[in-house]
Amino acid sequence: MGLLRAFCAGGAVLMGASGCAIVGPGERGLRSTLGRLEPEAHPPGPLPFNPFLSRVTVVPVRTVNRELGLLLPSREGLTIQAEISLMYRLRPEAVPTIFETIGGEYEKAVVLTAFRSAAAEVSSRHNAKDMHSSERANIETEIRERLNSALGPRGFEVERVLLKSIVLPAGLARAIEDKLEAEQAAQQMQFVLEREQREAERRRVEAVGIRDSQRIVNEGLTPLLIRWRAIEAFRELAASKNAKVIITNGESPLMVSPEAGPAAD
């Protein structure tokens, strides 16, 4: 940059009545001669001009961040104090048109005016509590899209809109907190009810399974199967070496232990 300034200074000495402006990174240079603006903006670098006939204006095209404190209306008719950050930039190819149609005060004349209007219009469609919930990101997106729709054709690009802080009217913040707590309690109760319903359904299915199992067992207990089980029981008793008394009707055994004495009088 020092060499460029030296080059411009040298050019001024050699050319006599001449000057040189330096356009830095993230900037564009506009040169106007006798009041007529050149159709193209000059990129970073040296920009010679005649100081008696011409003028050079250096315009930033990098991202600009502006923070504003606004009073926004809500759908309920409340007024909300908000601090909003606006990040925008000028499209380099649109710089001559912006200066020709709007002038050097483009931010105050167009950008901030459109920003205030878009923020108020979007917030008026939302409840105050939405600015403290997940709807906050949607509100930011709506404001940005509305701004790009209004400012895009004029050569501006809105990159981000950020709701940095929200101050609700007195009493409303507590009311919102109470409502959120009530909603959380209702969700907890709904969860408990659903859990109990699932448990009742599990028990019903379990009861149906037990009933079906018992029915299958009952259907399988035929007279022949019972007789076969009795025969197997007789065989096991006969194979035992212990003394025993067996009383039977021929179908099922009833064993009486010989150690059991007669009942006392």
Q: Residue 214: pLDDT band by 50, 70, 90 thresholds?
A: confident
Q: pLDDT higher for 97 or 237? A: 97
Instruction: Give percent above pLDDT 90 in the chain.
Output: 36
Q: Is the pLDDT of residue 15 over 80?
A: no
Q: How is the chain split into domains, by residue range?
A: 2-60, 64-171
Lowest mean pLDDT among 7-21, 77-91, 130-144: 7-21
Q: Could you tell me which residues come within 8 angstroms of residue 85 by beta carbon, excluding any fewer than 6 positions away?
A: 65, 66, 67, 160, 161, 162, 164
Contact 72, 93 (CB under 8 A): no
Determine the pLDDT at residue 252: 56
Q: Is the model's pLDDT at 150 over the cut of 60?
A: yes
By percentage, how much of the chain surpasses pLDDT 70?
A: 71
> Which superfamily does CATH assign the domain made up of 64-171 to?
Band 7 domain (3.30.479.30)
Residue 103 has pLDDT above 50, yes or no: yes
Higher pLDDT, 167 or 218: 167
**The predicted structure's pLDDT at residue 153:** 95
Confidence grade of residue 196 (pLDDT, cut at 50, 70, 90): confident
Q: Where are the alpha helices (DSSP H) in the chain?
A: 2-15, 95-101, 106, 112-123, 135-151, 172-220, 223-239
Under 8 Å CB-to-CB from 17, ≥6 apart: which residues?
50, 51, 52
Q: For the sheet containing 36-37, what is the strand order?
A: 36-37, 27-33, 54-60
Question: What 8-state DSSP symbol labels residue 264?
Answer: P
The C-alpha atoms of residue 70 and residue 198 are separated, in whole angstroms, by 50
Query: In this model, does residue 164 exceed pLDDT 80?
Result: yes
**What is the reported pLDDT for 139?**
93
pLDDT for the residue numbered 199? 86
Residue 43 has pLDDT above 80, yes or no: yes
Burial class (CB in 10 A: 0-12, 13-18, 19+), 122: buried
Contact 154, 102 (CB under 8 A): yes
Average pLDDT on 162-170 reads 81
Q: Specify the 3-state DSSP secondary structure of 22.
A: strand
Q: Is the pLDDT of residue 37 over 80?
A: yes
Q: Cα angle at 85 between 138 and 154, to 5 degrees? A: 85
